[in-house]
Amino acid sequence: MTSPTPRRYAGLSGDQRSALRRESLLEAGLELFAVAGSRGATMTAICARAKLTERYFYESFSSRDELLKTILDGIADEVRDAGLTALRASDGTLEQRVRDAITSFVTLLTDDPRKGRVAMIESAAYEPLRAHRRAVLHGFAQMVADEASRMYGDRAWPSHQGQINGLLFVGGLAELVTAWLNEEIAITPDEIVEAATYQFTSTAHR
């Protein structure tokens, strides 16, 4: 006996419709968390913005905090993938690859300031996400240390010093982007890229 064919609506399968609902909730959560912070990004508000009922919310997420964590992790994944792609490109000088990687980070968080605010500001201000955000930043610091070791070889710092430098670099770059997002500093995204490129290429090796 063959299994029944899954029902389709508007040309989409059930799984496809579920995936679209999940994306709608994530987009609504990103918008509200960035604009209104954790107090404004309630489950009720997220569902209303996505034009979905709470039933569909629980189809994808167990809680509001799980959704917000998923949004933060999604931004981190975008940054990581773009940065590693640039650093490991087969063409361009080492400095150009570093500049391209930093550009991908800065561009992602400044072209869509919602992502910048969620990753840099709102997740740090919301206690349930604060420790997770710190873990994400430490993960990026380790990635920076690992990539510096790979790129500079014998000229790279020993592991312990590389980790210190990685954390200093990531923390400093995050603070610089945060200052831009909060309009606390008169600087352009391009200037952030150039400053960070100089910092990395000057300190990531002996």
Which DSSP state fits 93? -
In this structure, are residues 14 and 7 in contact, taking their beta carbons and an 8 Å threshold?
yes
Which DSSP state fits 154? G
**Chain centroid, CA 72 distance in Å:** 6
Nearest alpha carbon to residue 123 among 187, 157, 74:
74
Give me the pLDDT at residue 10, please: 63
Class of the domain covering 12-60: mainly alpha
Looking at domain 64-202, does it have CATH number 1.10.357?
Answer: yes
Global pTM reads 0.92
Which DSSP state fits 9? E
Give me the pLDDT at residue 1, please: 46
Task: Measure the CA–CA gap between 205 and 192, rounded to whole angstroms.
Answer: 21
In this structure, are residues 165 and 204 in contact, taking their beta carbons and an 8 Å threshold?
yes
Count Cα atoms within 13 angstroms, Cβ side, for 87: 23
pLDDT, tens digit only, all 206 positions of the chain:
444 444 555 678 878 999 999 999 999 999 999 999 999 999 999 999 999 999 999 999 999 999 999 999 999 999 999 999 999 998 999 999 999 999 999 999 999 999 999 999 999 999 999 999 999 999 999 999 999 999 999 999 999 999 999 999 999 999 999 999 999 999 999 999 999 999 999 999 99
Nearest alpha carbon to residue 193 among 109, 75, 67:
109
Task: Measure the CA–CA gap between 150 and 148, rounded to whole angstroms.
Answer: 5
Which residue ranges make up each domain of the chain? 12-60, 64-202
